[in-house]
Structure formats: C-alpha cells, structure tokens
Structure 1
C-alpha cells in the first residue's frame, strides 16, 4: 500500500504509463480516506461486489491510500518514500514489463524522474523511476 497525495494524478500515472486499470475504489468518509486498487489485465466486471472480490483474489494488485484533503493542503509536505537517508525502510515496488527500454523512453517523454536507467550501474537490464509521490518503481524485464 502506498499513500498518495492526489489520487487523480496517481491513478492517471499508473493507468496511462503502466497500462493498469482501476479495479475498485473504497471510500471511508467517516475516517476521511479512500482506497484505490489497480491491476493489469482486469476483465470487465459488472458489479462493485465482483470488482471487490477480484481485487482481493488476484496477485499483483497495487493499493493506493488517499487521506482526504492532502491534495489541496499547501502545508502538506508529502509522504516519505522510505528511500531518504533519515527515513529508510520501505524500498520500492517492482513491475515486470515486456520491454524495459521502450517503457523508459515512454516514461522519459512523460517527464518522469529516474533513479537508475537501464544503461546505468551494474545491472543493465533494470531501471528505477519514481511515481508522483516519490515512491520508487523497479522495472524488471519479463523472464529476468
């Protein structure tokens, strides 16, 4: 689960750049937060019950949590990604992709921030990019 400041921006990032689909959304207005579940190759699901059941029964689902109001709070400094020296802990998510280099070109064109490009470092076949909230995403070639 990753906490996000702006769910619209985050969902657009994962759907447009990574080909994911929003499976379902769960709102908790009394607690002032919402959950968003995204995945790949999501089949058409007619009811909310089917979408919820699907989200909790398949591997590789990404859960995003939005605490209401953070998207408009100018004093909100964002979440810690777990990769800052003073906040080490959570590292990153990994996504297997068909072609790391091609996806990196797409991400580069979209202005994404890279931590490591495929031609850098010792492991030439992988890359790391950040999402809108600064979380690291490892891009791994299928069959790696």
Structure 2
C-alpha cells in the first residue's frame, strides 16, 4: 500500500479575495472547481503548473464570520527560485508577517490569517 499527497485544504471566508491573493502572491491558478448543487459550498483547486500537488480552497455558504484560527500552528511552504524578488513583491503587498533571516525564510499571511512559508530553492 502506498499513499501519495493529493491536496491540502484551507477554508476561506471570502473566496474571491482569497483567489486574488493566491494568484498575485504565489501565481497559483484554478485548475478545477466543484460546486454543491444546493449552493452550500464551492471548492476551488489551485495548482502551480509544475507539481501535481494542489491547494483546495473551500468556501461554505453558511459561514457567517471570518474563521478563528486560534493557535493553529500548521502552515504550507512554497519554494521560490528568486527569493529576493518574491520577498520584495510580498513586502509591497503588505503580507509579510514574519521574517527569519538566520534561517533564510519568511512567512506571508493570506486574507484568512493562514501563514505560508516562503523558502529559497536550494
């Protein structure tokens, strides 16, 4: 028996705002959409165009407030080939939430408060 990654999921409050963020910040594109016949949810699967891994953004119609992440200590990591250009872009976007120069990494925060680690391609 062999397990392989399929996707990661993040629930989002404002789907359009999140889609715009992930496209601008990380150049992720929608590769697949699933909508409930009763309108109760929309799933948008985002891809990087290189790897088979996808990020599933889930919007729930009945969620009437932003998500409370509490002490949610999970994060997704993205590798980038031009670390300095990415850092500059994310600084300009105002989404850098934590820098760790000694490790050579930083984190950005999406519209729902999820942290995304940016690491240089080594």
Q: What TM-score comes out, normalization by structure 1 length?
A: 0.70
1-side partners of 2:119 and 2:25: how far apart?
15
Moved over 4 A (4+): none
Superposition map of 1:17-36 within 5 A: 17-30=25-38, 32-36=40-44
Higher strand share: 2
Structure (1 or 2) with the larger CA radius of gyration: 1
- Unmatched segments (≥5 aa) in structure 2: 1-8
Superposition map of 1:69-88 within 5 A: 70=63, 73=64, 76=65, 78-81=66-69, 87-88=70-71
Q: 2:119 corresponds to which residue? A: 140
2-side partners of 1:142 and 1:29: how far apart?
41
- Unmatched segments (≥5 aa) in structure 1: 43-57, 82-86
Q: 1:65 corresponds to which residue? A: 58
The RMSD of aligned alpha carbons is: 2.0
Match of 1:101 among 75, 79, 84: 84
Q: What TM-score comes out, normalization by structure 2 length?
A: 0.81
Pairing 1:12–2:58 present: no
Higher helix share: 1
